[in-house]
Structures are given as structure tokens and as C-alpha cells.
Structure 1
């Protein structure tokens, strides 16, 4: 039998807030948290942090001389990581691993440094170290004074759940006893938004329901970007104080016809779900947190994949992207946080575009993530 993996804490910073009670209250409100932000040629709807949290981020940035050159993707990760470690009761002298990923990394700083280079022909002194993807985990490790391994990676939108996979692998291999895993994303930049618009997947809607993630009848894509970070603390073995345990992990990659598409039945998600559910009766899965990016093909292909696995008797299905936008590399861990809160409170949070009612206690929830490149991850957690 594989070693049990306990999730001893989860913490985030996002449009939902930065405390578990506050995040849960926002979920219970059933209201989107999207607002207009400036963009090239006008404005777009986005899941931006509230001003209170942006102030906290700025305070952290200028709290130490060597922090003022860091991108928000790093600062978001620091704030979420500090709270996750504190909630788990990990001590400063504890040796634990860190794996925090990001799809885009230091997008804002990179754009600014590149603009400076185009204008002057010279790169700024810290342009290289401050824009490498690896600085997310390394700076979190410095901030926490961790002496264990620190890893950063990008596997596009499934990045955060791949961090969970890596943490589980290290723990089950006996190479660590504790691992901090997560994702951080600060993509609300002119070039990043423009890239999504060029692909014709960014939502043209300008109301609070601009993201129609899980609206399976929509005729055009409505992806909306969001920003934030989320972290979870994993421990080898069963911890009686754990929020949940990881019962199954799955992963897969499918051959694509071009660089961003999924097959109509999302074969990679089918494979990852089957792997995560190995040995688990399908009727024991109470809910699925879908990746559901808000695109026509992305939402429907995942729904088709779920039906291929579960048949006509589907678990409860939901997503949080209609509420906070798509946070790219952080999205999988924010979905895991929603799953943990639903388990803790035994309350299902439905999507307004796919309303369902809970009719039994929540004990097992499956979380999906999939990204550009046809890579998928599924995590099964249990109360």
C-alpha cells in the first residue's frame, strides 16, 4: 500500500481573500468577483486582487531592500506560503521541500524590462535573476528560511497540481517528510491579456458574469484571467489533524493536432481520472472540481471526458473560474482549496451555469486540471 499523504493546511491569496473563513464566505455568497481593469485599447473583465490585498503585497515588496525587485508572482507566493506553513504548525527548523510553479512567472517584470531594453538598448542590472521562473520557489525558501529542496516549474495550467504530484512522489519515496506545494500567477499584464485575445478565447463580455465557465450552451469562449497564489502543506503518513488525505493521483498527456487544443473527449483527462480513481468505486466520488477554463472547447471536452468515465450518473460538478477567473498555473491549487473547504463544511458550491443540489454528505472529491500541451492531472481527496 502506498504511504498515506495528509494535507495539513491550505492557504491562498486571490479575489476571494486570504483567510479560509473569508474565502468560504465569498464562495457561499454565490457572486462573481470580476471587475474591469485597463487593457490595451480599452478595458477587460478580470479576477484582480482587492485593494486591501494589493496594499499587503506592496507592503511586503518594500519590507526588505531585496524584495523590491521581485515580481508579484513571487510576492503572492510568499504571502500564501507564510500562512500555509503557519497553519500547519511547521517550525522554522523543520526541513521541508518546496515546489511552487507558475505558467507565466514574472510576466509583469519581464514586460517592463523588455520595454526598457527596446527603449535604451540595455538590460537592467537585475532583469535576469528577477524574471527567471526559479526565483518563485527560491525566494519563498529564503523567506521561510527553509533548507530543503526548492523547485519551480511550468506545465501551463496544470502546474499547481503537478506540484502536488511532485510533492507526493518525494514523500512516498522517503526523500522528505514534508512538502509545501502550490502555484502562483500574476498574469494581468497588457501582453498576456493581448495573447489571450489573439487566440480569441478572452471574454468580450463586460459584466460581472463575463466568465461563463461551465455554461455548456455558450456559443463563444469566455475565458477571463485572474491572479493569485495558493499553497498546501503535505505530510507523509496520516495526521489526525489533516484537512483531508490524498487517495489517488493521476496524470497523462495526449497527442495534439496543434499546440493548444484538446481532443473532443479530452483523452488525457480520461486517463488521468482513471489513474486517480484506480480501486475507488465510481459511486463513492461525490463531486468533481472541473478545470473548465470558460472556453467552448475546453469546457465541453472535459464534460465529455467525465461522461466517458462516469456514464449517465455523474457526481456533482462545479468550478470556481466563473467567480475568480482563470489563474493559469495557480488554478489547480485554488480548485483544491475549494474542494477542501467543501469537505470541511460538507457543503457543495454549485456553478450558476450548471446548478445541482447536494443530496448526500461529501466525503470524496476529484480535482482536475489540464493545460496547453494536452497535459492533465487529477487528484482524489477524501475526508
Structure 2
């Protein structure tokens, strides 16, 4: 079977618009969470978010690209540029017929769609909207796959360009799709990742309605508390990450630096409830077990788990049960952490951001902490790496994701040995 490796990483995340700033932020365990600044959030139950300080002009994006694209597309383009540069990939000389794009997003161009509706409907006063007042690029906003198209055009990728939208597991599933295309011989290089910019009034209102986000607005930097007894819900975020995923022989032939190999990927659906989770963690546990089987790993070989760790009572307990189910007693010995405690929950994007973190953990030998974990929930009784990062040699890292709709996904990154 053809093997896939990660040769480049690009990240735009709260607290730092680059890979290195992101890494420094999550290993320092300093939450990048603040009062929402992009609109007046005072009418809402949850008024805080993990916002990105992102200027697309700093990434060389053209005025035309900026004019026609939503923020989530612009962040994806910026990440793709950083990843391609990091990989030392000459896209002008590359065979575009063997290069593709696999991008994930949960909510697409939510900012543009909401803003344009407000204009066209005169703040909702007109039931029949006047299309003449809408922007000329509204179709690109309506179709979230435009993000994959923009990346493909910019880098000349002419193999498959697709968008995966599976809720909060989109970021893992998009990389999983890229993996399968490489294994099947459909591409040699994939730009794979995810992006979401969901910090809008309607998104905040929707999560308020189901009481999923935290109302702890008084001290924003302490509000995201995965696995902590005092957690009250997740903190909405935004961001993006794109990885250069490359066939192993292709990467070696051009002398590329290799961060890690993708050794396992599996997904399940719980067929149970749109937002509810079974307490036994069966489906997530099965996805992890399947991924371990593909990687030919024993549970005791796992050196780190990047948890979904959203900070809701239901998810954190479900996830703890899933790890026990998949790893048995080894679950009590492996360090686990949730970087959502630092960068919030960027919906579909977070899975790719967490995969970027896994690649860096293997490369740099540091496990990021779960910030704000000061009083552990007794029902979340595993090693969730509270407050402080720790040094560790990690040869195999697992990332787990759980999303509305019953989606459950797991992916494994492994150190590539010289003998491999």
C-alpha cells in the first residue's frame, strides 16, 4: 500500500497567525480567548470567543482574492501558503495533475452569508430580498467548496479538489480523505486541512439556544475548562490548518523533510442523536480501535492523545469512556490534552489544527497542557496533562474528534523510522 507522510504545516489560530506562534501558545498553555470584538455580543448568553488576529494582506493574498472570498477561505489560503513553503514544495514545477486539495469546513462562508442577508433584507425587514443589493460573489459564499477551488487555482492543483463537511470532525476527515486518495494512487501530493470562521451573531445565537457554549464571560481566559469539574460549556473559536500530505516515495525523491506518517484513520457514526452522545463512548472507541489496527499498534504504544475535549459535561465523560474502551489499562498511562482550552473550538477547523499539533508533538517532543484544568472532574479520571506542558518522546499520537450529527473520527500520526 502507498504510504502518506506530512511534509508541511500551516496554521492560523487564535493567539498567533502562524505555525510557530500557534505552537508557542499551546505549549505555554495561555488561552487566546477574549470578549467578542467583531460585533456587539452583549445580548447573548455567551459573549466570548477565541478570535484570530488575521490580516490576509500579510500572506500575499491579492485584493481580488480578498474581495471575493469569505474569511474562512482567506485563512485556508494563508495556511496553504505557509504549508507549501514549509514543505519546500515548488508548485510551479510540480505535476499539477498529481496534486489535489481536500479541505474541511463545518459552516462555510457564514460571515459573508449573514452579512449579505442583512443588507439584502434591510436587517430582516423585507421578506422578499432585493438581489440587487447583494455582492457579486454571493455564489462563492453559498457553495463552501469554493474554498477548495481557490486553493487549487492558486497552487495549480488539478487532481481531485473537494470539501468535506462532517461537522466538528471535518478537519480529521478531510485529511483522511487525502490519505485515501494517496493510498489509491489518485494523487502524490494533497493540500489537506480545514477552515472555519463561525464567530457571527447567528452562530452564537444557535449555540446559546442549546446552551452548549459557556456563559462564563467574566474571566474569558479561564472559561474553556475541558475535563474540569467547573466547566460550563465550550468556547467558540475560529482558525485553519493545512498540511502537505505526500506519498512517501515522492517526498523522499525530492528530499523533503518529513514530520510524521499517517498510519491510521477511521470514522464512525453513532446513529443515535443529532447532538447527544452515548455515555459508553462506543463509536469513538471503535474508531480509535480501528485506527490502531491499521497502524498495527498496541494500545501501550500510544504516546499522546489530542483529545476532542470540548469542555461540555456530556462530551468529556463520553470521551473518557471511549479511551478506556479502546486502550484498556493503557488509557491510564498515556498523556492526553485538549488544546481547545487555549484556542477554543473552531468547529470543522479544529480537527486539522489538532492534527497540526500532533505532528509538532512528534517532531518536538513536548506535550501541550490542558489549560485551566485545576479541579478535575472525578468522572474524567485519566491523565489530562493539567496546566503545564511536559517533555516526552512521542512516536505515535492519536487525535480524536466528535461532532454534532453523531460523527466520531480518529487519526494516528507516527514517527517515520529510518528503516521504514
| Bin of the TM-score, shorter chain as denominator length | over 0.9
- Pick from 275, 291, 299: which aligns with 2:308? 291
Alignment of 1:1-383 (within 5 A): 2-37=1-36, 38-39=40-41, 41=43, 44-50=47-53, 54=54, 56-57=55-56, 63-93=62-92, 94=94, 95=96, 96-119=99-122, 121-123=129-131, 124=134, 125-206=136-217, 207=219, 208-215=221-228, 217-218=229-230, 221-237=232-248, 239=251, 241-256=257-272, 258-278=273-293, 279-314=296-331, 315-352=334-371, 353=373, 354-355=384-385, 361-383=393-415
Q: Which moved more, 1:367-376 or 1:116-125?
A: 116-125
Q: Specify every segment of 5 or more residues in structure 1 that has no aligned partner in the other structure, as ranges.
A: none
1:18 positional shift: 3.0
Per-residue deviation at 1:165?
1.0
Output the CA distance in 2 between the equivalents of 1:355 and 1:166.
30
Q: 1 CA distance for matches of 2:104 and 2:42?
A: 27
CA offsets per residue over residues 199-228 of structure 1, 9 Å max, x none? 10111112111111222x23x632111111
Q: Kindly provide the CA deviation profile for residues 164-190 of structure 1, in whole angstroms up to 9, marking residues without a partner as x.
A: 111011101111111110000001101
Q: Structure 1 380/294 Cα, relative in aligned 2: closer, same or farther at 3 Å?
A: same
Return the alpha-carbon distance in structure 2 between the equivalents of residues 63 and 100 of structure 1.
21
CA RMSD of aligned residues (A): 2.0
Q: Is the 8 A contact 2:367 2:392 kept in 1?
A: no
The number of equivalent residue pairs is: 375
Q: 1:115 to 1:277 in 2, by over 3 A?
A: same
More displaced stretch, 41-50 vs 225-234: 41-50
Distance 2:201 2:61 in 1: 24
After superposition, the C-alpha distances for 1:315-353 in whole angstroms (9 at most, x for unaligned) are 111010011100111101111111111111111112141
Q: Matched residue of 2:68: which SS? A: coil
Secondary structure (helix, strand or coil) at the match of 1:311 reads helix
Whether the 8 Å CA contact 2:168–2:402 is kept in 1: the answer is yes
Range that drifts further, 135-144 or 122-131:
122-131
TM-score by length of 1: 0.92
User: How many angstroms apart in 2 are the aligned matches of 1:153 and 1:319?
Assistant: 23
TM-score for the superposition, normalised by structure 2: 0.85
Within 2, Cα distance between the matches of 1:271 and 1:221?
Answer: 28
- Shift in Å, 1:311: 2.4
Equivalent position SS for 2:289: helix
Unpaired segments ≥5 residues, structure 2: 374-383, 416-420
SS class of match (1:312): helix
